[in-house]
Chain A
Amino acid sequence: MHFRSRGEKVFNVINYIFITAVCLLCALPIIHILAISFSTSHYVSANQVGLWPMGFTTESYEFAFRSGRFMQAFMVSVQRVVLGVGINMILMILTAYPLAKSTSEFSARNYYMAFFAITMIFGGGLIPFYVLIYNLNMLDTIWSLVIPGGLPVFSMLILMNFIRGLPKELEEAAMIDGAGYFTILIRILLPVLKPALATIALFSFVNHWNEWLLGRLFMNSPANYPLQTYLQTLLSNFRELMRQMGPDYMQLVARMNERSGRAAQLFLGMLPILVIYPFLQKYFTRGLVIGSVKG
Chain B
Amino acid sequence: MKKRIFFLALACAMLFSVIAACGESETPATRDFVQPPAGNWDTPYDTPVRILAVAPEGSNWYFAEGDSVNNNPWTRLYKDVLNIEVEFEWTTVDGYAERLNAAIVAGNLPDVFALPYSDVDPRLFGELQSAGLLLDLTDALAQYASPRIRNHQVVDPLTIQGYTVNGRIYGIPRYYYGQIDQPWHMWVRKDWYEAEGSPEIKTVADLENLAKAFMANHGAAYGIAVDENLQWLFRTAPMFDAYVGNIHNNEYFWRDDGTGRLKPGIAFPEFQTALENWARWYADGLISPEFMLMEEWGRGKEDLLSGRVGIQCWWQWWGWYSGPDIVAQQNEDAYFIPLNLPHTSGSRPANGQVFYPNIGVIVASAEFNNPAALMKVISLLDHMMFSPDTPMTMDDLAEYIEEGREHAMTAAFQVIDPQADMIQYKHVLHALETGDTSELFTAGMMFKYNDSRAWIDNKEPHGLGAFLQMGFNGSAYARSQHLFDNNWIMRTAMWGPPPAEFAQAGSTGDIIMEEVMQIIMGNKPASDWPSILEQWYAQGGQIKEDAVNQHFR
Contacts and interface: CB of A to CB of B under 8 A. Distances in A.
Interface of A: 41-42, 44-47, 66-67, 79, 82-83, 86-87, 89-90, 126-128, 130-131, 134-135, 140-143, 186, 190-191, 213, 216-217, 219-223, 225, 233-234, 236-241, 243-247, 249-250, 253-254, 257-259
B404 to A, nearest CB: 3
Given A234-B60, A244-B407, A250-B324, A134 B108 contact: yes
Contacts of B535: none
Contact of A86 (B13, B62, B404): B13
A254 to B, nearest CB: 4
A42 B403 contact: no
B244 to A, nearest CB: 25
Interface of B: 2-3, 9-10, 12-13, 16-17, 20, 23-24, 57-63, 68-69, 89-95, 98-99, 101-103, 105-106, 108, 297-298, 301-302, 305-307, 320-321, 324-325, 328-329, 402-404, 407, 460-462
Contacts of B329: 41-42, 45-46, 254
A272 B195 CA distance: 52
A50 B507 CA distance: 40
A42 B60 contact: no
Nearest to B330: A42
Contacts of A135: 106
A230 to B, nearest CB: 9
A199 B298 CA distance: 37
B61 A244 contact: yes
Given A141-B24, A216-B95, A127 B101 contact: yes
Contacts of A258: 297-298
Contact of A45 (B17, B99, B302): B302
A295 to B, nearest CB: 21
Contacts, number: 146
Nearest to B2: A190
B94 A126 contact: no
14 contacts: A42-B305, A45-B301, A46-B305, A46-B329, A90-B9, A131-B102, A134-B103, A216-B95, A219-B90, A222-B60, A233-B94, A237-B94, A241-B404, A245-B404
A250 B106 CA distance: 44
A181 to B, nearest CB: 16
A247 B297 CA distance: 21
Given A83-B16, A141-B24, A253-B325, A46 B102 contact: no
Contacts of B102: 126-127, 130-131, 134, 217
Contacts of A79: 16
Given A41-B329, A250-B461, A191 B306 contact: no
Given A66-B62, A82-B16, A135-B106, A250 B328 contact: yes
A8 B192 CA distance: 65
A126 B98 contact: yes
A97 B12 CA distance: 25
A225 B58 CA distance: 13
A233 B61 CA distance: 10
A47 B302 contact: yes
Contacts of B58: 222
Nearest to B454: A247
B100 to A, nearest CB: 11
B2 A41 contact: no
A243 B404 CA distance: 8
